[in-house]
Amino acid sequence: MFTGIIQSVGQIDDVTLAGDDIKLKINAHTLGLDDVAIGDSIAVNGVCLTATTIESPHFFAHVSKATLDVTCGLSKPQPVNLEKALRLSDRLGGHLVSGHVDGIGKVTQFAPVGDCWLLAVQAPHAISKYIAHKGSICVNGVSLTVNKVVQDTFSVNLIPHTIENTTLQHLQLNDAVNLEVDQIARYVERMTEWSTQQTEST
């Protein structure tokens, strides 16, 4: 589990093909790997990956084709948002994030508004029902609060700190982004479905 509070902007330094999969060499920069062991999870642009080798300041990760098919931003050298897995004693500054991407969105607007930036993203229709005004959404691993939802498109406000300390500063129109919806919305849906099923079966 993660919080969506980015701890460092790292860099994918090398991508190596491994059949249909890839192996990544990632420079963790200021993340700090002293407390990371082989087998630990690190969120990379919102995708939960397992550290297979650690050679500080780098760690290595194997990304399967199944993961590549449903995510973006891992297949070439570029800056990436990094977050180590949540410990029970940590502050929950963002919201509970699993690192399992629900869909790939498309940037439809990214523009300055005063000292902040407005980011609008078109989400896949299948997951847009989970995105609510004032709810939480994870974009490339960053926990954000939804300001507005119109059909499948939602918008968020990025404060200067977020722009300065995440890769969101590099976004451009039509860029693809990893999206993970708030887990609470999924559980509410499942409980509602279960309740309906029980009513229909009696």
From 53, 150, 41, 186, select the one nearest 99 (Cα to Cα): 41
What's residue 183's pLDDT? 82
**Separation between Cα atoms, residue 48 and residue 37, nearest integer Å:** 15
Q: What is the mean pLDDT of residues 116-131?
A: 96
pLDDT in tens, 24-56: 999 999 999 999 999 999 999 999 999 999 999
What's residue 143's pLDDT? 97
pLDDT in tens, 145-154: 999 999 999 9
**Separation between Cα atoms, residue 57 and residue 200, nearest integer Å:** 57
Domain 103-189 has CATH 1.10.357.10: no
Catalogue the E-assigned strands of 64-100. 79-84
What's residue 88's pLDDT? 79
Average pLDDT, the chain: 94
The domain 8-84: what is its CATH number? Answer: 2.40.30.20
What's residue 202's pLDDT? 64
What's residue 103's pLDDT? 97
**Separation between Cα atoms, residue 88 and residue 195, nearest integer Å:** 32
All CATH 2.40.30.20 domain ranges in the chain, comma separated: 8-84, 103-189
pTM: 0.92
